[in-house]
Amino acid sequence: MAEEFKRAPNHFQGRPLADGSSPWPVEAGRYRLVVSRACPWASRAIIVRRLLGLEDAISMAVVDPIQDERSWRFTLDPGDRDPVLGIRFLAEAYQAAEPGYDGGVSVPALVDVPSGKLVSNDYPQLTLDFSTEWTAHHREGAPELYPEHLRAEIDAVNEVVFRDINNGVYAIGFTRDQAAYDRRFNRLFDRLDELSQRLESRRYLVGDTITEADIRLFVTLVRFDAVYHGHFKCNLLKLTEMPVLWAYTRDLFQTPGFGDTVDFDHIKRHYYVVHDNINPSGIVPAGPDLSGWATPHGREELGGRPFGDGTPPA
């Protein structure tokens, strides 16, 4: 039995590039972003798209949080079909790109509307490209989420956050080995403690504005008490019991573009119903109490400018 949970690599890595060197042009209306509001990897793309104002350039489809044997499905739409792509299952776009493909079907997925083919499920690169390749379609006042002079530091923070936190909660939740669980559990809370110390005197992870690093950490923290604490056995502390990280996450949640993209109903139903090997009863817990997300966080005292020289999304 495998000791460690291994995340499969992203098989489709097409990239629309602004310089025309890719077979996929950067073109408004050409692509459709398929997401699940339950999925933290997809939530990154939802937030970045909204902050940059790419809604008119890249349309978005939201799948049902409950998958069946064919994975993500468009049962939230009339006729159980995506109205733009005309398909019932995201797997159809994967098959259009690679006939006979039998690997995993994941979100976020960028689909070429004219051909119906999947372009990319490479979630780490997708949001960086939204910031760097789609600048001609950013809204006026769009923030710099991946500023060039901070990229090395952002990349370094992202690497650690992915390994020990974003992916770490999954490594804990899906392991079947006690020693592996103990090791990843300790690493997760050691890293959360380090980030608490980092954020105690600074409002954001890198620089004095919101960057890609904050978005990547936020999508895990916002799900922590609702699913990871109990469902994935990450139960040393709740987020609400970590004062700095709880205030930091509330600060982001109350920032336009963050909390208004979060759907706790989708999040809880997906994890507790789909992961029947972890939760065989399929019962979705009633808690936690969500009222605390609207309470004052006091992080403004640390300074910082959420959008830098830009403005909030409408």
Q: How far apart are the first and last CA of the chain?
A: 50
Peptide bond into 288 cis (omega under 30): yes
**What's 180's DSSP letter?**
H
What does the alpha-carbon distance between residue 1 and residue 189 come to, in Å, rounded to a whole number? 25
What are the angstrom distances between the C-alpha of 160 and each of 52, 53, 68, 165, 274? 25, 28, 33, 8, 28
What does the alpha-carbon distance between residue 131 and residue 179 come to, in Å, rounded to a whole number? 40
Which DSSP string do the residues of 25-37 spell out, in sequence order?
B--TTSEEEEE-T
Active site residue 123: no
Other beta carbons within 10 angstroms of residue 6's beta carbon come to 11
Q: What H or E segment, with its residue span, contains residue 179?
A: helix 178-199
Chain centroid to Cα 166, Å, comes to 9
Catalytic residue among 39, 181, 228, 234: 39
Sequence length of the chain is: 314
Catalytic residue among 101, 123, 170, 234: 170
C-alpha torsion 131→239→63→129, nearest 10: 10
Find out whether 261 and 46 touch, Cβ atoms under 8 Å: yes
Active site residue 170: yes
Catalogue the E-assigned strands of 51-137. 59-62, 109-112, 118-120
**What's 222's DSSP letter?**
T
Find out whether 239 and 169 touch, Cβ atoms under 8 Å: no
Supply 290's token pair: 């969500």
Q: Which of the residues are catalytic? A: 39, 170
